[in-house]
Structure 1
């Protein structure tokens, strides 16, 4: 049967990976990619300027998650894979940069001496964190917020000064809203097995190797050619790519465009942002995900002459929210990824916008750059930038609030009643690039099986 058609809505990493995996499973199917904006890539956007390579969205991904690495190698881009440099990471708290204590994992201590000697936590805060060794389990198979879980285990000071800045740098959310089960289920599992997070984290750390100490490897991977090369490569597997083509709504067997045109298909896959899910499907469980909290953020990438930036041994820092700065984190990109800047230059990327301070992202480029520079100069010495590139993500970062998994389960059960309609993306099972690719692969496998069954039924 040669006439099967698949529509994929959304040209971010989830939609593009879905296109690739559907074509891999059903090479004879015609795959049409619909994108409401004028470009592919979604949050992935790479800018090349004056010898700099600037990732405006994700800069890389966690190396321990294998699906994306395999995809990159399958696409013939394996020789472009690079691992991030390692270096000291800092937290800006109490008006100064302080090193992360050695052995800390997501702010949770696994070594005694570095925790005792760190200036990040007061003596009372350290004693309170130590009660983790004694108190009973907090998680009782009922979803709770990260703030409640870590606060009850380790105390409010360690959460405010260490855990919250680190997690906000990743998820940009409010720990009081964020779901333990959906965001960091591994910590619930560690507590369930070991009771104490400190003992549990220490137990799962890899044993020391005998002989000479092994040089630490960076935890992230990226592409030296730019992540947009990955998205362009994936888009080439679509039979048709239709940009500037917003979809009004989706029904089993068709997608209706905003101009009223209906495109029929054997399968329609939604790989959209969460705010589009409810309007496209218009059933309560879809609106439940659309109406969940999202955050607005911006990145400010600035190029400098290397001599004008204070040299520190490290790759960046996060900022405690109690400091009242506009920036939430800063990455020294040329130290983390040396290929991103000319040898005599530095590339600094800062992040602005939080759940409580989204309004700053709506300001002009000039105002955002000035506020970012003001904050950077409170932290360290920095000169005048050669240029800046500002990228906004408006109301577009999904937040996995408490009971997120239950809402996703209800949505997926409701979606099963719309035969031939599927969904994947960051609003469901993980916001990282590998999570999105993994989700896309599983959805494409289901689509492939369903199309095969449909083909067989027609033949018979």
Structure 2
């Protein structure tokens, strides 16, 4: 008699869930394993925060805007899926920084705003004379002996000085994490520079040894039909495995190393392993075990919003030199960053309109998310006029809010995650919590977690009677 197949449930079909399901299905087929994969998605679509909308003949991303090419995970998957011919790389350098009511273009080689060559600090009009001296002093000494977790602000301030940390590095980091760097733990970011500094002794030596990290053309990629091209391809390959409108409301241990997954509060599924690939903010809605919930009861999620503006051609009277704008925290602006789509992506370059993607809101700004669309538009248009001297009304605008969507990696996040994983291994073997709230944020980190977790699940099931 044929042995019953072991069943794996993947909760969530964002990029993390789709990657782990794809890898599992791939391994099952290659090794002819008696396992099956079921993906449970609460909504009617896959993709999560890779969210592309079509307007006429053009595609616009209203969620994640691009993928960092300086990390290998996404590019590896794109090549494997044979999507390279649909990829487009960023152009026209890097964003300007808006501070003190002025746009600054960092003309020298930088990594996330930090000068690669120490002497280039003298070219930074953004930084005061005292700030430049502080940078030269702090970059001279090695700080690699530091073993305890510190905030990202403290980490950079100790190495590049307070001003470079606040006015150069923070705008780059805040663009991704929607949070102030004095709240984020450096280890939780999975920042490549953290490991490279330990290898080379100082940040500047690490950057000089790795020119591939330099800010500029080609740092980011998208697809001509939007980032959802990637998740759409994965979804199509997994179409027999995905179940839509299946909201997981509880996961409990059962007999013989199995779990009972409660779906929509009216049906149950027995599985041998569960991978939860949702936002970490949803964990408390899924698990009723108080001991488990204690590990993520203090999890904080930030909100962010996006507005696509179309303006008449030539509407930017004070355009940035680069392909967008990053706003420093002290601006007291609602705008966090601006992507000038016409300048960043070749397929938008010849449009007869100016397309600006504006990200607004920070983790400390809960008021902005509560405003009406009209109030948000008025506030952002006022800021755009200050920054780019746009005085005309937009042709159209599209607003998208992402409430509680961005994990806030507080200090000691890495230690808490390690403790949680040890608890799961002991008390919940076969249950895995992954996604953008666990081990780094962004498409590359999500794909990496998906790849690694798939192998862990296979190994676990092979060793479970």
Fold similarity call, TM over 0.5? yes
Give the Å deviation of 1:74: 2.6
Does the 8 A contact of 1:279 with 1:287 survive in 2? Answer: no
User: 1:305–1:275: structure 2 CA closer, same or farther, 3 Å change rule?
Assistant: same
Measured against aligned partners, the alpha-carbon deviations of 1:234-272 in whole angstroms (never above 9, x if no partner) come to: 223143433332212112322112424211122221001
Q: Where does residue 293 of structure 1 map in the other structure?
A: 300
Q: Is the 8 A contact 1:132 1:196 kept in 2?
A: no
1:307 counterpart SS class:
coil
How many residue pairs match? The answer is 449
Give CA deviations for 1:411-437 in whole Å, capped at 9, x if unaligned.
111111313322221111121101101
Quick check: 190-199 or 15-24, which moved more? 190-199
Does 2:393 correspond to 1:392?
no
Is 286-295 or 56-65 further displaced after alignment?
A: 286-295
* Greater Cα offset, 227-236 or 14-23: 227-236
Structure 2 counterpart of 1:421: 431
Deviations for 1:163-206, whole angstroms, at most 9, x for unmatched residues?
Answer: 11121112111211211122255444444445443344334436
Partners of 1:74 and 1:2 lie apart in 2 by 31
Q: Give deviations 1:319-344, integer Å, cap 9, x for gaps.
A: 11111110011110121113247621
Contact 1:330/1:349 (<8 A) preserved: yes
Structure 1 Cα separation of the partners of residues 62 and 4 of structure 2: 40
Q: What stretches of structure 1 move > 6 A for 4+ residues in a row?
A: none
The DSSP-based 3-state class of the residue aligned with 1:73 is helix
* 1:143 counterpart = 2:136: no
Does 2:183 align with 1:177?
yes
Looking at structure 2, the residues matched to 238 and 288 of structure 1 have their Cα atoms a distance apart, in angstroms, of 34
Deviation of residue 408 (structure 1)?
Answer: 0.9
SS at match of 1:411: helix
Q: Which residue of 2 aligns with 1:239?
A: 240
1:2-401 correspondence runs (5 A): 3-27=5-29, 29-112=35-118, 114-135=120-141, 137=143, 140-205=146-211, 217-236=217-236, 237-252=238-253, 253-281=259-287, 282-284=289-291, 286-310=293-317, 311-340=319-348, 343-382=351-390, 383-401=392-410
Whole-angstrom CA distance in 2 between matches of 1:130 and 1:177: 25
Deviation at 1:40, TM superposition (A): 1.7
Q: State the alpha-carbon separation in 2 of the partners of residues 393 and 112 from structure 1.
A: 39
8 Å CA contact 1:277–1:287 kept in 2: the answer is no
Is the partner of 1:272 in helix, strand or coil?
coil
Secondary structure of 2:76's counterpart equals helix
Q: Which residue of 2 aligns with 1:213?
A: none
CA distance in 2, matches of 1:438, 1:183: 14
CA shift, 1:221, in A, is 1.6
Note closer, same or farther for the CA distance 1:356–1:139 as it changes in structure 2 (3 Å cut).
farther
Q: Distance in 2 between matches of 1:44 and 1:290?
A: 27
Q: Could you say what secondary structure the match of 1:428 adopts? A: coil
